[in-house]
Amino acid sequence: MRPWGTPGGLVCHVLLVETPTCLVLVDTGLGLKYADDPASRFGPARFYVRPVFDEAEAAITHVTRLGFDPQDVRHIVLTHFDADHTGGLADFPWAQVHLTAAENFAALHPKGAVERGRYLPSHRRHRPILVEHTPAEGQAWRGFAGAEELADIAPGIVLINLPGHTRGHAAVAIDATDHWVLHAGDSFYHHAQIDGTGKAPTALTAMERLMAHDWRRVQANHRRLTELSRTADPRLLLVNAHDPSLLHRARELTDPTG
């Protein structure tokens, strides 16, 4: 995606997790159906965010390219229900879709212009199999107030309550045996917001504030993620949904072939 005033643009960073019994996606990106009807699949925000459709970059295409059968993607764990995270749901209609109960309620009962613009009915047209979770009622995880292990999917997949960007926004942590991957979703947009290197583009931070359901919670999430970043724990790989530099760093750290 190429928002105005954002050098380098944005990505849709999706995780593919191989468990002993199935494949799991964390978020789904734009998906193949974006090209069919950009207006209903992204809404007016597309004129600012300017998504670039490329079938080769769709999650389902990557799954196949990696040598897997897309039918083995049995579960999808969402950080939230924004269009650039749920666009690929229809490419995996057989999969169970896991999200927080608060996010599902918000998507079904949007309040105000921002929520009505972000929660698009077209992403439910195929009637996804939704599974609600309440991580806010769970135990703390690395300083975050509530988390729920999705043990019915596989051990070591943790849904973390992280509202702010949306009413029911969550982060997802994955136990990769020798390290953890923490996908923070849209709890921050640019690495400079939490690692202190450089400065996030003003256009991007302005968009973040405009889209925030609860700006104070977004700021609190920034502070906690900054603390995690400063520990520089080699056993924790922190990524988010849209920062291309974090995607490239993750690839370098986890893919020996580059």
Strands 129-133 and 236-239: unpaired
More confident residue, 257 or 158: 158
CA distances to 32, 61, 81, 172 from 57, rounded to whole Å, are 9, 7, 20, 22
- Tokens, residue 15: 């995780």
Task: State residue 97's pLDDT score.
Answer: 98
Which pLDDT score is estimated for 257? 54
* pLDDT score, position 107: 97
Task: Work out the percent of the chain whose per-residue pLDDT is above 90.
Answer: 93
Instruction: Give the pLDDT confidence of 99-122 residue by residue, as tens digits.
Output: 999 999 999 999 999 999 999 999
Q: What is the DSSP letter of 226?
A: H
Angle ∠(168,177,14) on CA atoms, nearest 5:
40
Q: Mean per-residue pLDDT for 160-178?
A: 97
What's residue 224's pLDDT? 95
One-letter amino acid for residue 9 of the chain: G
Q: Report the pLDDT averaged over residues 157-185.
A: 97
Say what the pLDDT of residue 232 is: 84
* Tokens read off for 233: 């724990």
Reported confidence tier of residue 256, pLDDT bands at 50, 70, 90: low
Alpha-carbon span 38 to 42, nearest angstrom:
6
CA–CA dist 258, 254 (Å, integer): 8
Q: What does the pLDDT read at residue 258?
A: 46
Kindly state the helix (H) or strand (E) to which residue 38 belongs, with its residue range.
helix 38-42
pTM higher than 0.85 for the full model?
A: yes
